[in-house]
Structure 1
Amino acid sequence: MFRRRVLVGALALLLAGCTSSSGDLPEGSEVLGRSATAMRSVTSTHFTIKVDGELPNVTVKDAEGDLNAAGDSKGRAKVDQFGQLIEVEYVLVKSDLYFKGPTGGFTKLPAALAGQVYDPTAILNPDKGVAKVLSSAKDAKTVSSDGGVTVVEATVPKDVVGGLVPGIGADVKGTFSVKDDKLTNAVFALPSGAKVTVALSDFNKSFTVEPPK
């Protein structure tokens, strides 16, 4: 009888330990709040964007490049044109946008036209970028914290997420990975089944963007 009580007591302590460890997860809203503050001070980043599924009026399927807080950016993107994926290079500097398709050289366009494809400068824009998304997310819940990376799930209002990812017309579920208070990955799951992934790295790394010659 004594041995059985010891075993039952040990099992109870083990279960209590498991419950306690899950309760040690940081508060989701606090994680996103700290990350929002940290992202407002980021001066540059390397980004990748991937679209799985269809977004209304958005032709970019994936993009990758470097971006600074001043709005200068350079990189490449795959754009859907009449059912065909075309890879383009781009350079966005000051008020000028340069595109280079599969053939030929760069073509200079007004920077305002970037929004018709995808405007990467929105990422670090404090009024509509990742900082705004993080600070506006609702019902945040931490699902894991391991290896220095904390993963938080939350709901993002459509008018907020639409500033970062155009073509979204409904509130979405966001899954955010945060490391050292910096947002490293965000996945937005749309009601339609489409998914948009934004990954960020190389924070505050110095680079220059010059008009192509």
Structure 2
Amino acid sequence: MSGLRGRLAPVFLFVCAVVLGMSATACSGGDEGRAKAPPFDGAQVLRQASAAMANLKSVGFTVTTEDKPPVAVRGGDIKLLRAGDAEGTLTIVQSGQSVEMKIVAVGQSVYIKGVTGGWRQVPKALASSLYDPSAVLDPNRGISKLLSSVTGVKAEGREKADGKDSYRVGVTLPKAAIEGLIPGIRSDVRGQVWVSSSDHKLIKVRGEIPPLAEGGEKGSVVITFTEFDHPYTIKAPV
């Protein structure tokens, strides 16, 4: 019998060690397994951002893309006044080719200049069918409206965005709210927004654009806000 006890002793000690280890995990380490509260309230962050962006007098922003999203505008660098006047450059895909053009919007006229040739004046209503930068600060079509209408809000973390400490919030961007900022959107899109932790201004929006058809091209569009309330002077080109 003493021999049997001797052979069972190591097994007994092993079982005890396992049981004690499980008990220690349940008591001291169990918090790691439980869902932790998010580091911030994503919905509150978006409300603050919507308020901070609502009364801007001007804004500078860039548009970039990742992979090949099925949208016409693939890049841009725009300076915009609240009244709708704007100037900058856009990269447009036409017939499969990327074309860069300069654009100036003053009043009800838009001036466009391609790689070759001079400035061409077109009615604002016609140009807006391609891209209308004035939508960005429009309270009914722009950023403030977008931030107040997103769904699927999820606090994702804190990180640097464009060199600024920010909150990253996962969202679903409604088609009706984002198509004014990214022409060609045909459905709601999943994405993220980054909001400054210091002044609550929106730093960046990223939308994951699905393919138009199965197996088609897809990618993301990123809008980064670079300047706020800068005293831009925008005039019609001579």
2:112 corresponds to 1:60: no
**Runs of 4+ residues over 4 Å off in structure 1:** 8-20
Aligned length: 207
Q: Structure 1 residue aligned with 2:177, among 160, 179, 193?
A: 160
1:14 and 1:43, CA in 2 relative to 1: closer, same or farther beyond 3 A? Answer: farther
Q: Give 5+ residue unaligned stretches, structure 1.
A: none
Q: Which amino acid aligns with 1:115?
A: S
> Counterpart of 1:171?
188
Q: Partners in 2 of 1:64 and 1:80 — Cα distance?
A: 16
> Counterpart of 1:150?
167
Q: Structure 1 residue aligned with 2:226, among 198, 201, 212?
A: 201
2:114 corresponds to 1:89: no
1:10 and 1:204, CA in 2 relative to 1: closer, same or farther beyond 3 A? Answer: farther
CA drift at 1:9: 7.3
Q: Partners in 1 of 2:50 and 2:94 — Cα distance?
A: 35
> Counterpart of 2:55?
41
**Residue pairs, 1:1-213, within 5 angstroms:** 16=31, 23=37, 25-51=39-65, 52-55=67-70, 58-146=71-159, 148-179=165-196, 180-192=199-211, 193-213=218-238
| Cα RMSD (Å) | 2.5
Q: Partners in 1 of 2:127 and 2:76 — Cα distance?
A: 13
Q: Partners in 2 of 1:19 and 1:203 — Cα distance?
A: 41
Q: Which amino acid aligns with 1:183?
A: L
SS at match of 1:23: coil
Fraction of identical pairs, as percent: 32
Q: Partners in 2 of 1:146 and 1:9 — Cα distance?
A: 34
TM (normalized to structure 1)?
0.86
Q: Partners in 1 of 2:25 and 2:85 — Cα distance?
A: 60
1:197 and 1:212, CA in 2 relative to 1: closer, same or farther beyond 3 A? Answer: same
Contact 2:206 2:223 in 1 (8 A): yes
> Counterpart of 2:214?
none
Q: Partners in 1 of 2:230 and 2:94 — Cα distance?
A: 33
Q: Partners in 2 of 1:117 and 1:85 — Cα distance?
A: 14
CA drift at 1:34: 0.9
Rg larger for: 2
Q: Give 5+ residue unaligned stretches, structure 2.
A: 1-19, 212-217
Q: Partners in 2 of 1:73 and 1:15 — Cα distance?
A: 56
